[in-house]
Amino acid sequence: MSDVVLSKKCCKCSRHLPLSEYHLKRESPDGHQTKCQSCVRQYRAEYYQKNQERLRQYSLDFYKQNADDVKAYQKEYAQRFPDRIRERNKQWLLTVDRNAFLEQKRQWHRANRDRMSQLQKAYRAVHPEYARISCHKRKARLKQAAGTCSRTQFLAKIEYHGWRCYLCNTSLTIKELHMDHRTPIARGGSNWPANLAPACGPCNLSKGRKTESEYRTTLSACFSSSTPSNR
């Protein structure tokens, strides 16, 4: 055996660097790549820049063809690493450009208007109790109500409740999370953080126009006459 190589010259930038500065490559004689890590990083970044459109299209196509597999994988990942997902959600919440995000949402709604109204119609046919409350009226009331809740306060609320529904204790991801008004706006509640709490969709929807204590009374009445579920 020859002497152990501890450093070598990068084939790209010609610097002499310790082997630890190179990525591993099992097939090569010294077990490391010929380009140093920073050269590799630069190469990847340039490659991504040059092929951005193509790469984005590629991953879109891949998603379309393998939507079920991708979704299953994402679900499994979220179950295995809930902390990572939470951290990512937290970062997203703190850094997202609110206006750009809302604009993106608006564009999506414009593009999917017909599909959405069909879905809503079908939903209202099954749940006539929601048909009465029009979305516009609700939004108008939300805007009129007193109080605001900043992004940091919103996040603090979620953290305080341990990313769980404050009514049924179900663990929540950002996608499943509803911000519930303990006292509904329609009943004079505000948008101040003290009146807000994270809830799961089912609790938020079934609570409807009830206050928190009214809802809890109904819940305990239900549970004393039937066995509680896991949700």
- Binding track over 39-78 against Zn ion, x by CB under 5 A: x---------------------------------------
In angstroms, rounded to a whole number, what is the distance separating the alpha carbons of residues 185 and 146? 9
User: What are the residues facing 8 on neighbouring strands?
Assistant: 17
From the CB of 172, what's the least distance to Zn ion, in Å? 8
Residue 33: name the closest of 187, 150, 41 by CA.
41
Q: Which is nearer to Zn ion, 140 or 222 (CB)?
A: 222
From the CB of 195, what's the least distance to Zn ion, in Å? 17
Considering only residues 145, 158, 167, 172, which one is a binding residue for Zn ion as defined by CB under 5 A?
167
Q: By CB under 5 A, how many residues form the interface with Zn ion?
A: 11
From the CB of 109, what's the least distance to Zn ion, in Å? 27
Q: 113-146 burial, b if ≥16 CB within 10 A, otherwise e? A: eeeeeeeeeeeeeeeeeeeeeeeeeeeeeeeebe
Residue 198: name the closest of 230, 161, 231 by CA.
161
162 CB-side CA count, 13 A: 7
Q: Which is nearer to Zn ion, 12 or 157 (CB)?
A: 12
The answer to whether residue 197 forms part of the interface with Zn ion (CB under 5 A) is no
Residues that bind Zn ion (CB under 5 A): 10, 12-13, 36, 39, 165, 167-168, 170, 200, 203
